[in-house]
A and B are shown apart, each in its own frame.
Chain A
């Protein structure tokens, strides 16, 4: 491609004759670009730096914080972290972390295990009512289940009387609601990917005498492994960070997830004085998501744009 046609592919890059040379214009444009992007980066990163800095401020209160932690004794640098992690009675932080990890892992695994066969059937079988079922799944997702939080709360209270492990205030109940709520979207997402796996693959296996189940397990699942992992990981992160339903459905300190614990314990009361503790918890709590997003940013970008371009 020539340099002219490359610049014309950009929306702002349509050329017009001005007083400047091509090179000067490009330099000016780059200057403007870098200036704006730098301002934006400050906007984007400042809160993050601020909370990281707060987590290393040994005095815990917001009043004493400066952007560069003022620490004479390096041993005090991690005081918030040791205070937060060393008081399991006051702040059962590990418990919350464990709850979040447990709920998010089981949900992610459950979503993949339950949606994959459904998506496979939608992708490969041609049966009566298939289209209407797919449309129905799409329609249902118009109403996210947090809108029904009142009735979900009541339902789990009622169910919990008879089946304690999926009742109100249990991780089981929360997982049930999460898996159910994500079903429609994930089936669509996964079906789209299964559609892109060549049918010749499974037809060849069937001709060789494999059953449909064998084809699914030995051919389709291995071929779909990348998307299964992405959907699993994104579900994990999404559930790990979920706040609304977890707050509605978990009552006791011991059963809170990390997000609920951080909010109720440090924000609801005495916020400014527990700032350092919250910051330490926040830094730990944001790590899994941050890592996943930065590692998977290309997949996430292409995933979101795929939806955009199709829509």
Chain B
């Protein structure tokens, strides 16, 4: 048995789990599996295979853990694993995937969804069934139609219901509907675009002179990856490099005449989609290429990157310095020690967003408290350097209590006899601090300095709530601010709405952050040392 000490049962107790436990477990698994299967098939049906694979993998994992007796200890963790996989691991993996796609505005749909969208489009065929029509109206303002085809067969249809065969003259009232006046009949036409009649497989289009049965306009052929426009006969072929359907014949003709012809000039456009029905597709390293090589983006990106590093580094340095100073001052016994500590912790005990916005208010240029106290204080928010300094002050306020707590604990853990020995050797106070306190302190809280660095590297709340990353960097192709850090820039690219959402590019930036954060953590923290420490604890 690989399971541990606790599973070696004392003599006389049953080694087989109770029948009830078994039944509960199997029924539970069956419910989970049925639900997961339904979800997986629905996802595949819409072409969202990434998530389908992830859900399938998680489900498989949960099943294996719960069915194999060897993995019994892991049963205690299966919900934790499932959530960790869905909430952390899959998003990381998916970020990598999205970074290599054109996912974003104009390419939000999967190819399957794009085809579905096209297949729902209809048109009025030249041939086919046509009806003459009369409008009916009920109290609620709903319309119904009385239809008569060329052979004299009549039907009554209410909204998107089925066509009911009827006979005889057109009555004045029928099934709670009354015959519409001329004006009402005309009004129906003006809203006809949104008013569809008949069931889904037999949609009717209302025009002034007749009602016609609509036919699907596009047909997709998966074997050739082509869409045929049944109204015009044009054939479009999917181009997975750019994520659009393009006019096959026109593009091939252009290519024959000019080998440099671009597929982008032959995109299939339909009503409501003037830029074409784009779908998302893998585009290789294009997003990374843009990040590292685009001349227009280079200036803003370098400035943002440098500020991110400077900001994170300065934040750690200043908060650590002040926190250590306070911790040193709080050493020993003195009157009011607890009072001072409680008061000095207060910044740590207030939600960061509220604190940052409060500081934003205090720096407000016209009425803020600082501009009232300090005459001639320039508008901090209009100047990049001043905003940066203000951000560091705010972060000092936010962050020193953490290091105060940490350093207090770490100082208390330094053995007193070291100082006594130093004193015997004739060291002064400064020397004792420099050669005993600091080295020991840095050893014990070094990892926390690094984690504070990575935290600040991604301190979106501070940057966004203080000044939204502004003031803006002039003529940046993607809107960017002088106090933006990489994560807030990522947010702009993905969600700000200016210039359109570009999830692919935003994910590429996330990957760059991943790499930086990961490298910093692994290198400076001295992962090997941490490993050893961890393995001792395990």
Report if B460 contacts A (CB, 8 A): yes
For A192, the chain B residues whose CB sits under 8 A away are 537
Looking at the complex, which of A36-44, A70-78, A82-90 is the stretch in contact with chain B? A36-44
Q: How far does the Cβ of B108 sit from chain A's closest Cβ, in whole Å?
A: 9
For B170, the chain A residues whose CB sits under 8 A away are none
Looking at the complex, which of B152-160, B196-204, B424-432 is the stretch in contact with chain A? B424-432
> In the complex, A61→B357 CA distance in Å?
15
Q: Are A142 and B518 in contact (CB under 8 A)?
A: yes
For B533, the chain A residues whose CB sits under 8 A away are 310-311
For A180, the chain B residues whose CB sits under 8 A away are 83-88
> In the complex, A33→B490 CA distance in Å?
44
Q: Are A297 and B345 in contact (CB under 8 A)?
A: yes
For A311, the chain B residues whose CB sits under 8 A away are 444-448, 530, 533
Q: How far does the Cβ of B88 sit from chain A's closest Cβ, in whole Å?
A: 5
Query: Which single residue of chain B is at the shortest CB-CB distance from A42?
Result: B343
Report if B478 contacts A (CB, 8 A): no
For A130, the chain B residues whose CB sits under 8 A away are 73, 538
Query: Which single residue of chain A is at the shortest CB-CB distance from B51?
Result: A158
> In the complex, A13→B461 CA distance in Å?
40
CB within 8 Å of B: which of A139-155? 140, 142-155
Given A125-B3, A146-B460; A263-B408 close (CB under 8 Å):
no
> In the complex, A256→B46 CA distance in Å?
30
Report if B251 contacts A (CB, 8 A): no
Report if A244 contacts B (CB, 8 A): yes
Report if A20 contacts B (CB, 8 A): no
Q: Are A184 and B490 in contact (CB under 8 A)?
A: no
Q: How far does the Cβ of B508 sit from chain A's closest Cβ, in whole Å?
A: 10
For B255, the chain A residues whose CB sits under 8 A away are none
> In the complex, A126→B13 CA distance in Å?
21
For A272, the chain B residues whose CB sits under 8 A away are 361, 364, 366-367
Report if A300 contacts B (CB, 8 A): yes
Chain B CB count within 10 A is highest, among A12, A13, A121, A154, for: A154
Report if B326 contacts A (CB, 8 A): yes
For B56, the chain A residues whose CB sits under 8 A away are none
Report if B103 contacts A (CB, 8 A): yes
Report if A102 contacts B (CB, 8 A): no
CB within 8 Å of B: which of A292-311? 292-294, 297, 300-302, 304-311
Report if B258 contacts A (CB, 8 A): no
Report if B395 contacts A (CB, 8 A): no
Q: How far does the Cβ of A139 sit from chain B's closest Cβ, in whole Å?
A: 9
For A128, the chain B residues whose CB sits under 8 A away are 2
Q: Are A301 and B405 in contact (CB under 8 A)?
A: yes
CB within 8 Å of B: which of A147-189? 147-155, 158-159, 161-163, 176-181, 183-184, 187
> In the complex, A48→B346 CA distance in Å?
9
Interface readout for A1-45 with B: 1 if CB under 8 Å, 0 if not? Answer: 000011111111111100000000000001001001100110111
Having A16-B429, A45-B346, A118-B76, one finds 10 other A-B pairs with CB under 8 Å, namely: A11-B432, A13-B429, A14-B419, A138-B534, A162-B42, A206-B10, A263-B465, A278-B361, A309-B409, A311-B446
Provide 23 A-B residue pairs closer than 8 Å at the C-beta atoms, listed in order of the A residue: A8-B423, A12-B328, A13-B419, A44-B401, A50-B362, A62-B361, A117-B76, A134-B534, A140-B84, A144-B455, A147-B510, A152-B91, A154-B94, A176-B83, A244-B461, A248-B495, A278-B361, A285-B351, A290-B350, A297-B342, A302-B409, A308-B410, A309-B409
Chain A interfacial positions (CB closer than 8 Å to B): 5-16, 30, 33, 36-37, 40-41, 43-45, 47-48, 50-51, 54, 61-63, 65, 67, 114-115, 117-118, 120-122, 124-128, 130-131, 134-135, 137-138, 140, 142-155, 158-159, 161-163, 176-181, 183-184, 187, 192, 195, 202-203, 206-207, 209, 211-212, 215, 240-241, 243-244, 248, 259, 262-263, 267, 271-272, 275, 278, 282, 285-286, 289-290, 292-294, 297, 300-302, 304-311
